[in-house]
């Protein structure tokens, strides 16, 4: 099992055993890199907000600044929730349940995991979930 995967050279393949050591290491590295990018962006946002907190004498400038700040904070809140999903995915890698549908127990599929590494449902299960959600929302 290789713990250090070079993301530029390794591509998980359907030919391999599903969630073998290389695949787990690949997805762990991908999730950790994603998490680090989000944290770096969050630090940059905090730095930017600290610099931007100057008093604006013009009401329009102040309103615009407050609107920008609210949008940034909302985006950061979404990122915070995403980090918790990334952490949960990393935990699933550790406990051996990563890559398997929470609903059916079947493999989620490498293409779906590569596109959305925090996925917990197979495409079919996700579609069923969304259809049920739509039915309840429409009632």
> What are the phi and psi torsion angles at 102 (to 5°)?
-65, -25
How do the domains of the chain map onto residue ranges?
16-97, 98-138
Global confidence as pTM: 0.78
Handedness of CA 44, 46, 51, 57 (dihedral sign): positive
Query: Which has more pLDDT, 128 or 68?
Result: 128
How large is the average pLDDT for residues 49-75? 75
How large is the average pLDDT for residues 67-81? 85
Whether the per-residue pLDDT at 3 is higher than 90: the answer is no
Residues 6 or more apart whose Cβ sits within 8 Å of residue 40: none
pLDDT of residue 58: 75
DSSP category for residue 55: P
Instruction: Identify the CATH class of 16-97.
Output: mainly alpha
């Amino acid at each position: 099992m290789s713990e250090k995967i070079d993301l530029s050279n390794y591509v998980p393949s359907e030919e391999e055993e599903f969630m073998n050591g290389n695949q787990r290491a690949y997805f762990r590295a991908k999730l950790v890199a994603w998490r680090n990018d989000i944290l770096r962006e969050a630090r940059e946002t905090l730095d930017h907000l600290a610099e931007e907190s100057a008093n604006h004498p013009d009401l329009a400038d102040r309103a615009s600044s407050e609107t920008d700040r609210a949008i940034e904070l909302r985006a950061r809140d979404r990122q915070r929730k995403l980090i918790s999903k990334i952490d949960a995915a990393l935990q699933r890698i550790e406990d051996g349940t990563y890559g398997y549908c929470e609903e059916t127990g079947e493999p989620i599929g490498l293409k779906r995991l590569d596109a959305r590494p925090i996925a917990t449902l197979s495409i079919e299960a996700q579609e069923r979930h969304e259809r049920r959600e739509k039915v309840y929302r429409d009632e």
